[in-house]
Amino acid sequence: MGKLWLVARQEYWGRVRQRSFLVGTLSILAIIAVIMGITAIIVIGGRDDRPLGYVDRAGLFAAQPGPAADGPELRAFADEAVAREALAAGVIQAFYVLPEDYLSRREVALFYGKDKPGEGVRGAFDDALRGSLAQRTLAASALAGVQQRLIEGTQVTLRSLDGRRQIDPSSIVDALLPFLAGFLFIMATISSSGYLLQALTAEKENRTAEVMITTLTPLQLVGGKSLGLMAVSLTQLAIWVAVALAAIAVGGRYFPELSGLHVSPGLIGVILLFFLPAYALIAGLMTAIGAIMPDQQQSQQIAGLLNMMFFVPYFLAAVLFANPNGPLAVALTLFPTTAFTAISVRWGMTTIPTWQLAASWIILVVSAAFSVVFAAQIFRMGMLTYGQRLDARSIRAALGGRGS
């Protein structure tokens, strides 16, 4: 096994076996489980399956409407008094009264006991009423399917001119998915680069750096650590995604929007293209910080500021959602530290021009290359400077090739 892979394996298992990894991974899962549990309790516990009554003085319902797919049974009452008795007895959860002049006044009355019926219950009655009205109005129509279309209402699908993407009302979750996917991947990037920073400063603090440098090339040492620690983050991410998919499968029973969730190939391609250079960029910067700063505490202060540079598009998400093609959005897309996150925020809201994607990727790759070269230049000298910060003169000397 090559030295690079030996280092990667050591870092991976060393980190995965640590209690902090288990705690970190499981705590996120625990939070998801708690949120899901609370949601389920609210949805299931707050659900009232008792029938919904109605008094049809206007004679709109030609026949007793069947139960809605996801709603309560609708039960007709001859008059309001009987319905009131049923409500008082708890047989029904509420009842509507359609007055005789409904068609002219368009007003209905809703009677309920202590709790007002939920939106889903009221929506079920609205659908039934709309269906009856459509049936009554278009009973003689020869246009097949018009009745159904009238009941369903309008459904607008937006398509970009180049055909690369479309948005319809059912894909609101799809629109948010890139945002969430980008967030997850940048979290993985940030956390693994944070691990890398810890690992490098630990070499310095443990006084193992000098032996490692005489055994390994900087590429083997930093590259091996980067790969191993990225694998740690991806393992964590895979666990979270697997649990999230399970949660979606379960949640889809209660939230139909979740069941139709799909990830576009374009999004996957963009993530694959931008993820590695973004990681190389931040890993290089973290390596440089680890080399320059004397200990973990000081390194992490600087690293925290650096991480903010990657999250700027999330802080400005509202602005980017409102104007996903504005100058700010374009600038953030082209700036290397914000490119990946800006694209993930904009992806669900607009069609990002191809030139912007290409320019952004090239700038990111070039910046990542500079970052890695810069880190490699000062790495050796920085790692051997124990207990003190590498000063500007030493950095200049290292960059001039004199220190390494």
Q: Which residues bind other proteins (CB under 8 A)?
A: 1, 3, 6-7, 10, 14, 202, 206-208, 210-217, 380-381, 384, 386, 393-394, 396-397, 401-404
- Complete DSSP assignment for 17-80: TSHHHHHHHHHHHHHHHHHHHHHHHHHHHT---S-EEEEETT---SSPPPPPTTSPPEEEESSH
Q: Provide the β-strand partners of residue 111.
A: 95
SS3 255: coil
Token pair, residue 342, equals: 């800006």
CB of 190 to other proteins, least distance (A): 23
CB of 18 to other proteins, least distance (A): 8
Tokens 């083997």, located at residue: 220
CB of 272 to other proteins, least distance (A): 32
Question: By C-beta, is 16 or 309 nearer to other proteins?
Answer: 16
CB of 235 to other proteins, least distance (A): 20
State CA 342 to chain mean position distance. Answer: 14
Closest by CA position to 182, among listed 377, 69, 339: 339
Question: By C-beta, is 213 or 334 nearer to other proteins?
Answer: 213
Strands 52-56 and 94-98: parallel
CB of 339 to other proteins, least distance (A): 35
CB of 231 to other proteins, least distance (A): 17
Question: By C-beta, is 216 or 258 nearer to other proteins?
Answer: 216
Question: By C-beta, is 87 or 383 nearer to other proteins?
Answer: 383
Helix axis angle, 265-292 relative to 172-205, nearest 10°? 20
In order of 48, 211, 381, the CA distances from 342 in angstroms are: 43, 41, 35
Closest by CA position to 122, among listed 141, 151, 149, 94: 94
- H-only helix segments in 155-264: 172-205, 209-215, 218, 224-251, 256-259
CB of 215 to other proteins, least distance (A): 5
CB of 381 to other proteins, least distance (A): 8
Distance between CA atoms of residues 66 and 72, nearest Å: 9
Question: By C-beta, is 4 or 329 nearer to other proteins?
Answer: 4
Question: By C-beta, is 145 or 401 nearer to other proteins?
Answer: 401
Question: By C-beta, is 211 or 263 nearer to other proteins?
Answer: 211
On whether the CB atoms of residues 289 and 299 are closer than 8 A, the answer is yes
Question: By C-beta, is 171 or 385 nearer to other proteins?
Answer: 385
